[in-house]
Structure 1
Amino acid sequence: MLPKYKVVYNDIKKKIQTQVYKTNEKIPDGNSLAQEFSYSKLTITKALDLLVQEGLLIRRQGSGTYVKENLSPIATIQLEHFCGYSKKFGKEHIKSTVIEFSVITPDKEIAENLNITDDFVYKIIRLRTIDNLPKVIEETYMPLYVIPGLKKKHIEDSIYDYITKELGHKIQSAHISIKGDKANIRDIQYLNLTENDFIMEVEKISFLENGKIFEYSKTHHCYEDFKFNTVIVNTI
């Protein structure tokens, strides 16, 4: 049985995707939704918080909550599941080399992307090799209070396995942006590239089922091996 906030979350999300609630439209306030669902206002707020964090809704101070304007009315992108490289290629083919693993105070950009203030975060830089060929450099930041107890052995194995199997969290969704760029000094050093080579950068903010952001990362891929797959679901 779904938690009450997830019932509200799923209902409102479906109404956004099917344009019952249209782009830039104000949705009913918390009191109205509480009456509609016969749930507490706290439950409604939890569901709306999750939708705001996923970028589907936006709050305008003194005005209310609106469907975010950058949503496409034609289609939405849905991530079917999360899996790390270990699951995708098989652990026997993947090696993770830890370049840096430390606890830091995040700068403004990292803190804003993780939606935190003065919390400490893990800084993780890994080289991922596939069948002994360097393919990916990952720079990842995770709040300690969301992902406690992370150790080097987890980073060398699978961070996502630690999050889902040992901590018992469910990974819900991610905001992803992709761009091409010139190889930087670290790419040149670890991916055996030159200053004239290009990489594909995947910037990602990832959410747990409870709505908390647990990861902000920038991953650099060798461009010739990069392939992005997704599922486009027509909502009309």
Structure 2
Amino acid sequence: MLDKQSAIPIYVQIEDFLKEQIAQGVYPVKSLIPSERELTDMFGVSRMTVRQSLTNLVKDGLLYREKGRGTFVAEEKMEQPLNGLTSFTEDMKERGLVPGTKLISFSKIHPEPQIAARLGISPDELVYKVVRIRYADDTPMAIERSYLPVELFPTLTEEALQGSLYAFIEKQEKLVIGQATQRMEAALAKTEDAGYLQIALPAAVVLIERVSALMDGRIFEVVRSTYRADRYKFISEIGR
């Protein structure tokens, strides 16, 4: 099973073995893998070597630990391209997943100065503040807090927000979406967001702020999203 004469470190060989077992379905998603002691006996190596292998696989997102229960196989992360302006609903449907939305709140507010500046409006103007949990196959993937000028979308309703906002803008409002600017950063989940996303603290998340414009240049949306870092990886194609 292991080649102790190989130049490949033993802990790497153990990682490769477990990766192969997972790929072959021996250990399905969310299944419990053997304990450190069981793996130590299986491979005839030190517990420290096994622990290093498992720690590396956890860092790579292939496994996850639950205190007092053991180590489990993680769900595969979804790749999210950074080129192309699409909605969450469109992204999930393209992957063959069932998108879902839970509307947490829908209100009219006077925006904080930074949001107003992003939208290019006065803080005295009203905006919709929309808070939604976004699901893929009933699994919470992200929490979105969107801000949209009321003047631009006077007919926006809670019903429209149960589906794709972009579809509402293009099909109902007959407006053409142009481009967006996104800012990304890593962070630790706040307690409120961890509850929405059903993740245990401390947990890493990816924060994304998107400022979107119509084809005529008018800013129609500022959305601040918190994505589960254990379910997403972001990719970008770069040319020289």
TM-score range relative to shorter protein: 0.5 to 0.7
Query: In the alignment, is the contact (CA less than 8 A) between 1:146 and 1:212 conserved in 2?
Result: no
Within 1, Cα distance between the matches of 2:191 and 2:202? 11
Query: In the alignment, is the contact (CA less than 8 A) between 1:202 and 1:218 conserved in 2?
Result: yes
**Pairing 1:184-199 to 2, within 5 Å after superposition:** 184-199=190-205
TM-score in terms of structure 1 length = 0.62
After TM superposition, give the deviation of residue 108 of structure 1 in Å.
0.9
**Pairing 1:98-177 to 2, within 5 Å after superposition:** 98-117=103-122, 118-177=124-183
Within 2, Cα distance between the matches of 1:123 and 1:129? 19
State the one-letter code of the partner of 1:85.
F
Per-residue CA deviation, residues 181-229 of structure 1 (Å, 9 max, x unaligned), is 1101221111112331110001111111010100111101100222223
Distance 1:110 1:213, change over 3 A: same
Within 1, Cα distance between the matches of 2:195 and 2:201? 10
State the one-letter code of the partner of 2:107.
S
Query: In the alignment, is the contact (CA less than 8 A) between 1:183 and 1:194 conserved in 2?
Result: no
Establish whether residue 84 from structure 1 lines up as the match of residue 90 from structure 2: no
Distance 1:92 1:196, change over 3 A: closer
After TM superposition, give the deviation of residue 171 of structure 1 in Å.
1.1
Distance 1:232 1:148, change over 3 A: farther
Within 2, Cα distance between the matches of 1:185 and 1:196? 9
Query: In the alignment, is the contact (CA less than 8 A) between 1:183 and 1:195 conserved in 2?
Result: yes
Computed over aligned residues only, the root mean square deviation of the Cα atoms, in angstroms, reads: 1.9
TM-score in terms of structure 2 length = 0.61
Query: In the alignment, is the contact (CA less than 8 A) between 2:127 and 2:148 conserved in 1?
Result: yes
Query: In the alignment, is the contact (CA less than 8 A) between 2:204 and 2:230 conserved in 1?
Result: no
Distance 1:148 1:229, change over 3 A: farther
After TM superposition, give the deviation of residue 233 of structure 1 in Å.
4.5
% identical aligned pairs: 28
State the one-letter code of the partner of 1:148.
P
Unaligned 5+ residue runs, structure 1?
1-78
After TM superposition, give the deviation of residue 92 of structure 1 in Å.
6.6
Residues matched between the structures, number: 157
After TM superposition, give the deviation of residue 81 of structure 1 in Å.
3.7
Distance 1:97 1:173, change over 3 A: same
Q: Which moved more, 1:184-193 or 1:88-97?
A: 88-97
Unaligned 5+ residue runs, structure 2?
1-81
State the one-letter code of the partner of 1:145.
E
Larger Rg: 2
Query: In the alignment, is the contact (CA less than 8 A) between 2:147 and 2:221 conserved in 1?
Result: yes
Within 1, Cα distance between the matches of 2:189 and 2:135? 17
**Pairing 1:53-72 to 2, within 5 Å after superposition:** none
Within 1, Cα distance between the matches of 2:189 and 2:217? 34
Q: 71, 86, 96: which one pairs with 2:101?
A: 96
